[in-house]
Amino acid sequence: MGRKTEQNFRVIHRYLGFFLAGIMIVYAISGIVLTFRNTDYLQKEIQIEKNLKPNIASYDLGKALGKDRFSVDKEEGGLIYFQGGTYDQKTGIAKYTEKKLPILLEKMNNIHKMHSGNPLFLLGIFFAISLLFFAVSAFWMFRPTTSVFKKGLYFTAGGIVLTLILLFV
């Protein structure tokens, strides 16, 4: 490739890198927080009271509360007991506690776990394509004949191999 193409890749790589740095900071922080999602780390306990319709059967209660992996502990005297709370079948009132992250961390995690149904999914696709360009354009930072470029290929191969190993461990 010519010197002009190399220079264009350098300029785009530089400014895209600065732009992506902000996004990568958010993804890095939410990735660290997500690593601890099976613990109570940084979570606060919140008391919730919901008015549902009365007489919901125990097998439909999880869906009515919008909870995945819901299980009933016991039913007694018109009360349904579940982890962290109760539901009164007569009044329709469910009282329970949930542990939630602070709102900013929760929003950051939602971006990290984005899917195609999310209104911001195009941001995720843009970010992924930008990172791909950023990684590939790094190879235009050095001439292929230099030792830095050749060593860079070894580091790239090492990163790919390490990732493949981690995928199967």
DSSP classification of residue 49 = E
Long-range (24+ apart) CB contacts under 8 A made by 78-83 are none
CA angle, 33 then 36 then 41, to 5°: 85
Q: Is the pLDDT of residue 164 over 90?
A: yes
What's the whole-number mean pLDDT along residues 11-38? 87
Name the residue with higher pLDDT: 79 or 2. 79
- Residue 62: strand, helix, or coil: helix
**How far is CA 115 from its chain centroid?**
10
Q: According to the model, what pLDDT value does residue 52 have?
A: 94
For the stretch 29-54, pLDDT in tens is: 888 988 998 898 999 999 999 999 99
Q: What is the pLDDT of residue 28?
A: 87
What pTM value is reported for the model? 0.64
CB atoms within 10 A of CB 108: 21
Residue 1 confidence (pLDDT) above 70: no
Percent of the chain with pLDDT over 90: 46
144-to-103, 108, 140 alpha-carbon distances in Å: 47, 39, 8
